[in-house]
Amino acid sequence: MSLLETCTGVAIVSGILFFAAPSLIRARDNYQLDQTTRQVAGQMQWTRVKAISRDQDCRFRLISTTTYVVECKGSIWLADETVALPSGFQMSATATPVFHRRGNAAPAATVTIWDKHLNSKSVVVNITGRVRVQ
């Protein structure tokens, strides 16, 4: 292979990468947002399972825009687990869902997670205790 052919091949590959890179970066960002949202939804579902299996109320409470805590109630609310979101993500909630012994939740809540580009996804908990990602 000659030098001219090699340079032409490198130029073609560079051109393709130049145009494909933004799409790949967006896809990675969307994947990370989806992964973080599903992690929060999974933690909420686990909180519900704890409430049922321990036969006590457990709640999912935001401490800050980047940290949440899972607490279960004996005589007082005791922190079971504190979790920080990955860097670049923030969240807000409409309420603090408390999961009861039978798996239902009160109040219903929506937790919205967004990334540094302000793309967002939501985790919704209804009064039956069902957790879903929107």
| Domains detected in the chain | 3-133 (3.55.40.10)
Task: Please list the ranges in the chain whose pLDDT falls under 50.
Answer: none
Distance CA 85, CA 99 (A): 22
What pLDDT is attached to residue 99? 97
pLDDT of residue 5: 87
Residue 82's H or E segment, with its range, is strand 77-84
Contacts of 108 (CB under 8 A, 6+ apart): 95, 97, 124, 125, 126, 127
pLDDT of residue 20: 65
Side-by-side strand order, sheet with 131-133: 90-93, 109-114, 120-125, 131-133
What number of CA atoms fall less than 13 Å from residue 59's CA on the CB side? 18
Between the CA atoms of 124, 45, 103 and 99, what dihedral angle is there, to the nearest 10 degrees?
Answer: -70
pLDDT at 117: 93
> What's the confidence (pLDDT) of residue 114?
96
State the pTM of this model.
Answer: 0.83
